[in-house]
Structure 1
Amino acid sequence: MRPAARLCLSSILTPLRNPTTTKTIPTTTAASVTRAFHTTPITTAKVVPVYGTGPPPRAPEPSAEFVAEERAEREERLARRRRQAELLRHAGGIQGLRRDAHAHAHAQTQGQTKEQHGKKSSGLKRRFWKDVSVKEVDGSLEIHLDSRPLRHPTTKAIIRLPLTKPHLAHALALEWDSLTSAQQATKQHLIPLTSLICRALDIANSPTPEATRTEITTTLLRYLDTDSLLCFAPVDPDHDPSSSSPHLRELQEQAYESTTRYLTTHAWPGISIIPVLDGTALLPVPQSPGTREVIQAWVMGLSPFELAGLERATLAGKSLLAAARLIVEWSEEGAGKSKAASTGYQNQEKGEGNGGKFGVEEASRAVSLEVDWQTGRWGEVEDTHDVQKEDVRRQFGSTVLLVSGQGTKTKSG
């Protein structure tokens, strides 16, 4: 910034003071009568001391009503977890579940009394049942909320399960016992097992069973063109085959060979299943003639529980092959499984060292190979990849519970 301009006013001031004189003011006195055009005074900085000395103010304390409400909710949550643990411990028998429900009735009543003193809630914020039990009624298993049987949310029909599925019945009872309010029962993500069972019952009681099965089969066969087990990563030329860590391509080939060999031995004999996306391919390769027709006929012949389980597992893992193997392995109704071929395959698998088991963990790893491999290299996103893994396991676990039962053919040896 340029300095303020200064102008000598001697030639202006002298005539005004003495208009008759012609005396000239010396040059040395000109500086004393100069003036700057800038008249704004300069403001100096003021150093202000720190205000608010002393300790910080005390944090606000919760009200007595809030403390009582938190204590009541904590005690109710603890009592509910204890009941759930006991329910799981005695899930082997229906009579044990009845004794458990009566043993904890008094403790639950006390917890609800404390809750009423601690807070005021509406009917939707608090569940209307106290005990959840499994009862055998007219040759089937029913879940009772106190004295009320559990009903289908749409048809209002009583949900009845076969006597050969006590584990499914107790898991359903545990799901409803974990709810804390009636409003939670309207949210599908909180009652996944209930929705799956109702889906199986809807298939069984459909007024147009052929159309329903055809629609489900058409949807599931679309996943055969983009199956998770049939899509391979490109071959890495820089990968050392002798290294301890296998490449993603090798893991995908192992899962593909194991699952396809099992299915073509038990469920779909006489066909071959080829990868649909290999390496850098952009469009899926169609299966051999007759393969799609064999799989379609197998899906159409499944029981309602097997078909509902296959649908749930396929949508969860994006793999028809992994879902089909789960159904064939665990279904108590066989799902078209050949006993003779099953024995030979189990002996072959035991020779390979894995015992021929394909459960929830094995299925979830098979459909998540690429995600696990990528997150192992670059890390996983919190609350995304971990949640997805648990959700896939939950969906596969509900499928196993739905199709299995006491009539399941156990593996020999």
Structure 2
Amino acid sequence: MRQSWSFLLSSCHINVCLRQCKQMFQKRNTHSSFRELKKFYKNASITTSQGWYEINLDKRKLRTPGGKIFQVPNEALALAVATEWNKQKTHIRQHTMHLTSLCNTAIDNPMHRTRESLMESIIHFLETDTICYRLTEPPQLYELMCNEWDPLLHWAKDRHGIEIEPTTGIATPGVSPQTVETIRRHLMSYSDWALFGYDYAVDAIKSLIIIMALLDREISIDKAVNLARLELEFQIQKWGNVEWHHDLDLYELRTRLSASTLFIHWSNENSSIKEKASLAKQFV
């Protein structure tokens, strides 16, 4: 059953995950290994320029690490980024600003990735998709994997005509050329900016099928994370939790996935922009 965005991503979901991450960091180590810059502004706000949205830190225009003016194609995305900057206290904790990071990557494109290379990178995950690899031992884990992951494979077949045969050995899952082409056509419906977020999300969760179901509102953020961590959670139940480590990974993954899902959604809608985000704009 498809669910609403309000159910999948409540307005406070990312902030809740970030607070939990912050608490875990503080408990595990009082000395952060991440680079933190001293806050140099009082307020972050948004302005418009030729159909794009910019972020102002007081009267300064925000720029990317590559020196370009920070511009995004959607007002909601711009407001969310401004919120990330306004949430910073005495120091700028860049590792908590996932939307800003995604935007920087899309604007600077440091690896000079094309639309085609982004789609190929996403499709490549089919060969190593988490839900397509099954362990036969112990039997309880194999049964759990089948019960939890098979419904997603059935959904992919019914919804998109995608057929993938899971594997229990070292061989890669069975993926037909028709399935690859179907996914390619599906990805072509996304804007260039959205593809950056799509690639980020798939890389975080290690499953293209889970991300497709999430973006189609078939499953929630929490369900997506639980499916991706199925084997790990099974082992935790059996052997116990490593203090702070597993919880920190869990909250960080939820935060990354929430941010990337919102980024894809906002980058792909064109109801409030004059043009779709395009890699071509970077070279004008």
TM-score in terms of structure 2 length: 0.71
Residue among 297, 303, 317 paired with 2:191: 303
Q: 1:256 to 1:202 in 2, by over 3 A?
A: farther
Uncovered stretches (5+) of structure 1, i.e. residues with no partner: 1-86, 89-123, 238-246, 330-356
Per-residue deviation, 1:374: 0.9
1:316 is the counterpart of 2:177: no
Cα RMSD after superposing both structures:
3.2
Q: 1:285 to 1:263 in 2, by over 3 A?
A: closer
Residue among 148, 153, 173 paired with 1:255: 148
Q: 1:262 to 1:134 in 2, by over 3 A?
A: farther
Q: 1:408 to 1:393 in 2, by over 3 A?
A: farther
Per-residue deviation, 1:139: 4.2
- Please give the alpha-carbon distance, in whole angstroms, between the structure 1 residues aligned to 2:155 and 2:105: 28
Q: Which residue is 1:192 aligned to?
A: 98
Q: Which residue is 1:174 aligned to?
A: 83
TM-score in terms of structure 1 length: 0.50
CA contact (8 A) 2:153 2:209 kept: yes
1:264 is the counterpart of 2:157: yes
User: Partner of 2:219: helix, strand, or coil?
Assistant: coil
Q: 1:214 to 1:404 in 2, by over 3 A?
A: closer
User: Partner of 1:142: helix, strand, or coil?
Assistant: strand
Q: 1:290 to 1:134 in 2, by over 3 A?
A: same
CA contact (8 A) 1:309 1:399 kept: yes
- Please give the alpha-carbon distance, in whole angstroms, between the structure 1 residues aligned to 2:37 and 2:253: 30
Counting helix residues as a fraction of each chain, which structure ranks higher?
Answer: 2
CA contact (8 A) 1:306 1:327 kept: no
- Please give the alpha-carbon distance, in whole angstroms, between the structure 2 residues aligned to 1:404 and 1:300: 15
Q: 1:369 to 1:145 in 2, by over 3 A?
A: same
Residue among 101, 109, 118 paired with 1:216: 118
Q: Deviations over 1:167-187 (max 9, x none)?
A: x333312221233467x46x5
CA contact (8 A) 1:214 1:300 kept: no
Per-residue deviation, 1:375: 0.3
* Count of equivalent residues: 237
The correspondence of residues 396-407 of structure 1 with structure 2, limited to 5 A, is 396-405=257-266
Q: Which residue is 2:60 aligned to?
A: 148
1:230 is the counterpart of 2:91: no
Greater Rg by CA: 1
Uncovered stretches (5+) of structure 2, i.e. residues with no partner: 1-10, 13-35, 272-284
Q: 1:249 to 1:408 in 2, by over 3 A?
A: farther
Q: 1:326 to 1:309 in 2, by over 3 A?
A: farther
Q: Which residue is 2:39 aligned to?
A: 127
Q: 1:126 to 1:282 in 2, by over 3 A?
A: closer
CA contact (8 A) 1:196 1:308 kept: yes
User: Partner of 2:216: helix, strand, or coil?
Assistant: helix
CA contact (8 A) 1:305 1:403 kept: yes
CA contact (8 A) 1:224 1:320 kept: yes
Per-residue deviation, 1:132: 1.8
Per-residue deviation, 1:255: 3.3
Q: 1:299 to 1:139 in 2, by over 3 A?
A: closer
Identity within the alignment, %: 28
Q: 1:125 to 1:236 in 2, by over 3 A?
A: closer
